[in-house]
A and B are shown apart, each in its own frame.
Chain A
Amino acid sequence: MGDYYDIDDILAEEDFVPVQFHKAVNGVKIDESSERGFVEQDSKAELPFWLARGLHLQQAISIKVPACFNRNTRLEIEADAGSVDLRSRCSYFYEFGCKVAPYCDKSIGLLVSYAFKARYKEVLYKAHTKAFAAASKIMTFLTKEETNLYEAAQSSMAAFRKWRMGGPRLQRASILGRKRKPAE
């Protein structure tokens, strides 16, 4: 579990999961289009994960596999993990996967870890070799975590190149460069 105040941890739980209600619930209006003020038994809905987890613990609902881990995505990842656009599916693919797996399908854990292993190499190659201009295309595929990895690698490589090329050895403190204000 991450830090309680970790914004990424919070955002990862915002994603919706399909759920099915085991009980009829009164006084709840999940879907705006439904006019009745209660939810029938066995009705289906989409809830954010943080809410679904709470209800699941009270055994009010069961959680189904979210759309971003469906069969199509699995097949695509098995075919060529590197070129799957995970960001549009779920920008917290890995974190979300880890969170959801225990509640619906344990094999999501395997999928997530397989996908990360396969995509990690792509990120590695591109981060250390490609120039910034070419980077924008890959960046659109990457999830949040991969983007962080990519930027970490890029920035340390760029810092090294800058150091090797030299440049000003001494940096002037910003306060020294200022002109003195004319005395009044």
Chain B
Amino acid sequence: MAGQSGSQLSLFTPDEVEFVAEDELVEIVPNLRMDSLNFICGDYGPFYPQIAIQVPLWLALALKKRGKCTIRPPQWMSIENLTQVLEGERESHAFQTLPFHYVEISRLLFDRARDDIPDVYMVRSLVEDIRDVRFHKVETNLENFTASAVTWKNMAAMEVNIIRAFSGRALQAFYRHENEQAVPDLDRTQDRQPQNLNDRPRRNLRPR
């Protein structure tokens, strides 16, 4: 029965979401010379010292771990942009545009490439604030949802993932209860229709 089965709803753990996020591209500045790397997901390189290049986050972090590059923090992770986003989040009901994987990317960078981010404390607290404000917004949105269509733009992967199990089940339950109600309503609408059909010809007759 809807809303009661545990295994039916497919769930991601946060670690899996993080794994997906590691495919996002970031810009790095390597300090080594290396031929291009050919992967299934694409070719990256060749790498020259001090020449910036785009690579997937996992590769960037692997190189960073070995001290072979510095990671350039993405555009949206600047203090100005984050302050603006935070203000936007507080003022409006809509979600501001942020990368789909902003929670995961920011956490990975804070953990493993702190020295590459200017003002890391400030940036970090801004990101945390944004995340809190947004999650609060998600909860207030969840309060007023029903079985009708749900449109929330710009939700991030992690935010969706947190409420995935809950909202999936709740929607199923809502849907089921709405359907229960719809049955008597149908009878009523069917009763009404013949009357309307009778009304229409009369209205049409009047102007003539």
Tell me the A residues contacting B by CB distance below 8 Å. 2-3, 6, 8-9, 12, 94-95, 98, 101-102, 106, 109-110, 112-113, 116-117, 120-121, 124-125, 127-128, 144-145, 148-149, 152-153, 155-157, 159-160, 162-164, 166
- What is the distance, in angstroms, from A116's C-beta to the closest C-beta of chain B? 6
Please name all residues of chain B whose beta carbon is closer than 8 Å to the beta carbon of A8 when the two chains form the complex: 1, 4
Q: How far is the CB of A151 from chain B (nearest CB, A)?
A: 9
The smallest C-beta distance from A125 to any residue of chain B, in angstroms, reads: 8
Q: Is the interface of A mostly helix, strand, loop or mixed?
A: helix
Query: Given A124-B139, A145-B173: A166 and B163 within 8 A (CB)?
Result: no
Kindly list chain A residues whose C-beta atoms are within 8 Å of the C-beta of B13: 159, 163
Chain A residues contacting B181 (CB-CB under 8 Å) are 109-110, 113
A94 touches B177 (CB 8 A): yes
Given contacts A98-B177, A152-B169, A159-B13, 8 further A-B contacts (CB under 8 A): A8-B4, A9-B1, A98-B176, A128-B139, A148-B3, A160-B14, A160-B158, A162-B14
**Chain B residues at the A interface, C-beta cutoff of 8 Å:** 1-6, 9, 11, 13-15, 18, 107, 111, 139, 142-143, 146, 158, 161-166, 169-170, 173-174, 176-178, 180-181, 183-184
Instruction: List 5 A-B residue pairs with CB atoms under 8 Å apart, sorted by A's residue number.
Output: A12-B1, A95-B1, A101-B180, A120-B170, A166-B111
User: Could you tell me if A149 and B3 are in contact, using CB atoms closer than 8 angstroms?
Assistant: yes
Chain B residues within an 8 Å CB radius of A120: 170, 173-174
User: In the bound complex, do residue A124 and residue B4 qualify as a contact, i.e. CB atoms below 8 Å apart?
Assistant: no
Report whether B4 and A148 are in contact in the complex, using a CB–CB cutoff of 8 Å.
Answer: yes
Q: List, in ascending order, chain A residues with CB within 8 A of B107's CB.
A: 164
Question: From residue B17, how far is it (CB to closest CB) to chain A in Å?
Answer: 8
Whether B165 lies near A113 (C-beta < 8 A) is: no
B169 touches A149 (CB 8 A): yes
Establish whether residues A149 and B176, one from each chain, have CB atoms under 8 Å apart when the complex forms: no
User: B163 → chain A, closest Cβ, in Å?
Assistant: 7
Measured in the bound complex, the distance between the Cα atoms of B181 and A152 in whole Å is 26
Question: In the complex, A36→B9 CA distance in Å?
Answer: 52
Is A106 a contact of B142 with CB atoms below 8 Å? no
Q: A98–B14 Cα gap in the complex (Å)? A: 36
* Interchain CB contact (< 8 A) of A121 among B143, B163, B174, B183: B143
CB distance from A117 to the nearest CB of B (A): 7
